[in-house]
Chain A
Amino acid sequence: MEFNPFSLAGKTILVTGASSGIGQTTAIVCSQMGATVVITGRDEERLQATFDQLAAAQEEHVKLLADLTIPDEVDRLVASLPPLDGAVLCAGNSTTLPLQFGSREKFNEMFDVNFFAPVELLRLMYKKKVLQKGASVVLIASIGGTHSFMPGNGVYGASKAALNSVMKYAAREYASRKVRVNSICPGMVDTPLIHRGTITEDQLAEDAKRYPLGRYGRPEDIANGAVYLLSDASSWLTGHDLVIDGGFSV
């Protein structure tokens, strides 16, 4: 076999938020790197569309519908999961809202999806020993809230900063089982999430020019980072927030 420290062959990897955007591409790329992939999302049709694109080198990929903001569904998901060598928690949402409109309700909505849902899933996967010894967990955070503080991104950024904080604590605590926990902090990535119209297409195009590498990220830019963090190539890396942002936060 060819030398490839980034191979995911023989690994079983969970990807949440796999029905679109970064999650979808990450699931596909992991399967192309040889992993057996367990994908989860809320929308049956779109999840199936991802499933159909998984590399079929082996036939054991699994799809499980779940809304991770609903505790019963998280319990059910964790109970159905096979033993895992890795997980990429991509499910998330964003909002663009000046802080003076960031009511408790708006913060709650954002934290439910971006913070409590992945943190609870991570907790249960560890506690129930779904994450095997040596497993690698990747949380998709953001440069927002830790490396970048653009006006209008406070509610979103705070939820991602909180996630980054838990990532570091989990890295310390879970090291006893050799479970690694890292995050990726992407800059703006071109996914359906950013095309919801609050920011116009012209404004997005203008904003993309502010990135030193001249463009927004593509989902595969993030997926490839996740491959590194999941693979044995990063065996000695834990508690790290990997910034992938085209140089924006430099």
Chain B
Amino acid sequence: MNITEFIENFASQFDDTEPDAFASDTKFKQLDEWSSLTALSIIAMIDDEYNVIIKGNDILNSETIEDLYKIVEKQQ
């Protein structure tokens, strides 16, 4: 896995936020569109794409997309 692809997969869970709004240091929970359903989609995407099952707390404890990427990378 690599961070660029992870950011793309991350961004595709959003409908109204422009793709270029996403970078490794994006504080994703501060995005207007962020919701509990987005969180569920991110968890499901990570299971789907990376075969890693993260928990809601992993999202809670991540500030940036890179924080989350590191959690997934560690479990792969």
| Interface set of A (CB-CB < 8 Å, partner B) | 96-98, 100-101, 151-152, 197-200, 202-203
Contact = CB atoms under 8 A, between A and B. Distances in A.
**What 9 A-B pairs are tightest by C-beta distance, nearest first?**
A197-B55, A200-B56, A101-B44, A152-B40, A151-B37, A98-B41, A98-B40, A97-B44, A199-B56
8 contacts: A98-B37, A101-B41, A101-B47, A151-B37, A197-B55, A198-B40, A198-B43, A198-B56
B30 interface: no
A198 B55 contact: yes
Contacts of A197: 55-57
Given A98-B37, A151-B37, A200 B60 contact: yes
A96 B37 CA distance: 10
Q: Which of B37, B44, B55, B57 has the most CB of A within 10 A?
A: B44
Contacts, number: 33
Interface of B: 36-37, 40-41, 43-45, 47-48, 55-57, 60
B48 A101 contact: yes
Contacts of B45: 101
A160 B43 CA distance: 23
Contacts of A98: 37, 40-41, 44
Given A98-B37, A101-B45, A101-B48, 8 more contacts: A97-B44, A98-B41, A98-B44, A101-B41, A101-B47, A199-B56, A200-B55, A200-B56
Contacts of A101: 41, 44-45, 47-48
A24 B44 CA distance: 30
A76 to B, nearest CB: 32
Contacts of A199: 56
Nearest to B55: A197
Nearest to B61: A200
